[in-house]
Amino acid sequence: MPSKNGPAEVGPWAKEKLDALQRYLDFYTKVFKNNKRFRTIYFDGFAGGGQAIVRKQNRKNTVDYDLFDENSEAEEVEFIDGSPKIALALPNPFDTYVFVDKDPNRVAQLEQLSEQYLDDRKVIVRSNDCESEIEWLLQQNIKIGTHRGVAFLDPFGAHLPWNSVSSLGKTKLFEVIINLPLDMAINRLLKRNNEIPKKWLEQLNSVFGEFDWHAEVYKQEPNLFEKTAIEKRSDAVDRLLQLYLTMLRSEFDCVATPKLIRNSKGHALYYIIWAGQHSKGLQGAEYILGMGERLPTGPKGGRPR
């Protein structure tokens, strides 16, 4: 087992997510390679320490594991570059990198990583939560006429407030790549009987903002005693995915078809979703996210069964 101060630990499915990120960032920076009009920004809201350990063996199901933890015991490990290293290693770099993490150990690792690129990269490391740092970012001297950016938002569980995503969309200069953990985290918060603990309810309200997620998850059905009972819909996850795509379309002109990420046993975990303002970015995102399992985006779309 790695030490508490060592690299983060992820399942093998993280490779697919990071591969998609690398391909898109490479595409994006090539587009802006010879464009001197705009300064480019890469913002990583849940950056980690720059490197991760991939486990080879999942632990057995237990009742006391962390609700949002995709980690597991491992007999063998391998190291992979996390999103900060992937972004810094691009042949056509961004003009500015902003890495954010709340964990002091991860922040220290990010600072060490940034020192390796002092000569040819502008790197800013921020120790705080993603929501606060998006507010900070948007207070900097960045304008639609002079800047363009990509925000990678890969939360550990249901910890990405909609108001942060919406704020990025309103700038009209940021694209977002979002990890939406519907099956891995959000669905676990949704009790079948609608009796959701207050803390979980606050998380759900934060993720979906002013949009009515409750109507997508629950329905009222009469029972044997002719009373109305609230039941969880069988297609609740599919409905929440479509709701989130609708939310993104309220702030971004273009939203790509989601890419479904599964674990090593074939169970759905989360969705990688791209949203932006320009058709060129959409074209690249559709192609790159299409390298694997994707989902229909229409109102009747759902996950492959």
CB contact at 8 A, 122 and 96: yes
Is pLDDT larger for residue 300 or for residue 256? 256
Q: Strand ranges (DSSP E) for 161-234?
A: 174-180, 218-222, 228-232
Q: What is the pLDDT of residue 12?
A: 66
First to last CA, the chain: 35
Q: What is the mean pLDDT of residues 61-73?
A: 42
Give the model's confidence band at 81: pLDDT under 50 very low, under 70 low, under 90 confident, else very high. Answer: confident
CA angle 208, 160, 114 (to 5 degrees): 160
pTM summary value: 0.85
Residue with tokens 């020192």: 115
Whole-angstrom Cα distance, residue 84 to residue 41? 13
Q: Considering the chain, what percentage of its residues have pLDDT values greater than 70? A: 79
Helices (H) and strands (E) in the chain, counts: 10, 13
Q: What is the mean pLDDT of residues 212-221?
A: 91
> What are the φ and ψ backbone dihedral angles of 41, each rounded to 5 degrees?
-130, 135
C-alpha closest to that of 142 among 165, 170, 121: 170
At 129 the three-state DSSP class reads coil
CA dihedral 58, 305, 287, 40 (to 10 degrees): -60
Give the model's confidence band at 2: pLDDT under 50 very low, under 70 low, under 90 confident, else very high. Answer: very low
241 pLDDT more than 50: yes
C-alpha closest to that of 52 among 97, 89, 18: 18
DSSP class of residue 182 equals I
Give the model's confidence band at 77: pLDDT under 50 very low, under 70 low, under 90 confident, else very high. Answer: low
